[in-house]
Amino acid sequence: MKTNRLGSSDLDVSAMGLGCMSLGTAEAQATAIIHEALDRGINFLDTADLYDEGRNEEIVGQAIRHRRADVILATKVGNRRIPGKEGWSWDASKGYIRSAVKESLRRLQTDYIDLYQLHGGTLEDDIEETIEAFEELKREGVIRHYGISSIRPNVIREYVQRSGIVSVMSQYSILDRRPEESILPLLGRAGISLIARGPLASGILTDHGSSKAQRAYLDYTEAELTALHEQLMSQTTLTRTLTQTALQYPLADPAVAAIIPGASSLEQLRQNIAAARSQPLSALELEAVRETSKAGRYTLHV
């Protein structure tokens, strides 16, 4: 698996990582998927303290406890659960970040996190305090680097200008090209990498994704998704599948260091790995995809 340098960090991440959110809570199955990913050259695992109320971090930690040196481990912070209450609240305070990282370390069975990410962010946050928390953790060796996971360009711009982030995680796919309109040029100039989540658009951008096009996705109608799927399928060739096109599309931008599709089965993981190892899209293929998807249906957030 090809690797790319993550921003200005010293982290070389596999071009395809594993988004762990979709692993589920069946530990044996989740562990098998993680081990298969590592065995096949994936070194970048992304989780969050929010996923399955911390259970996802526990499963990931148990799976990699004897292989920690083989893994670039990323997790997230900012969504605070209140005991006895449903849901969560947003908390980007220094005190919460410093306490939450201890719990993530415990669940992950490690004494450091390679990439610690703010899991959201608003302009109303005390951004200087949030940055100070991450910088302190970095100086103390608790985290190696930090980034932000966000779809809000105005928030991302603040962190690009004011912090030492090495990455931005954002949804990016053929069906969601917002990063092209808002942040990719900025990140490219700043030497900050994009980590593209959702490259398969909840499975719609796969060869068998026509059935999944029948459910809501962003602002697309069912008819629009079905038509787009048919158009994209018509562009596939004997040597390239739609899954390959979808996973290679974000990687065509030099600011993108990694894509992180999820996998809920070994078969799905293997299909994604095979697609990620395919040849990059040619200029003609990129042009055709962009022409097909140019009238994207999504709202730009601030």
CA torsion 48→50→55→57, rounded to 10°?
A: 10
Q: What is the mean pLDDT of residues 66-81?
A: 94
Contacts by 79-88 with C-beta closer than 8 Å and gap 24+? Answer: 79/48, 79/49, 79/50, 79/119, 79/120, 81/50, 81/53, 88/50
Beta carbons within 8 Å of 180's beta carbon, 6+ residues apart: 253
The secondary structure of residue 263, as a DSSP letter, is: -
Specify the pLDDT at position 299.
67
Specify the pLDDT at position 301.
62
Tokens of 52: 């399955």
Residues 32 and 48 sit within 8 Å (Cβ to Cβ): no
Q: Which one-letter amino acid corresponds to residue 77?
A: V
Specify the pLDDT at position 302.
58
Specify the pLDDT at position 137.
98
The single residue of 51, 159, 220, 249 carrying the catalytic annotation is: 51
Assign 80 a pLDDT band (cuts: 50, 70, 90).
confident
Q: What is the mean pLDDT of residues 117-138?
A: 96
Beta carbons within 8 Å of 109's beta carbon, 6+ residues apart: 61, 62, 65
| Known catalytic membership, residue 298 | no
Report d(CA 197, CA 45) in Å as an integer: 12
On average, the pLDDT of the chain sits at: 93
95 pLDDT more than 70: yes
Q: What is the pLDDT of residues 133-178, one digit of tens each?
A: 999 999 999 999 999 999 999 999 999 999 999 999 999 999 999 9
Three-class SS of residue 202? Answer: coil
Report d(CA 269, CA 124) in Å as an integer: 39
What's the half-sphere exposure (Cβ side, CA atoms, 13 Å) at 23?
32
Q: Return the beta strands (E) in 66-203 as ranges.
A: 72-77, 79-80, 89-90, 113-119, 143-149, 167-171, 193-197
Q: Which one-letter amino acid corresponds to residue 285?
A: E
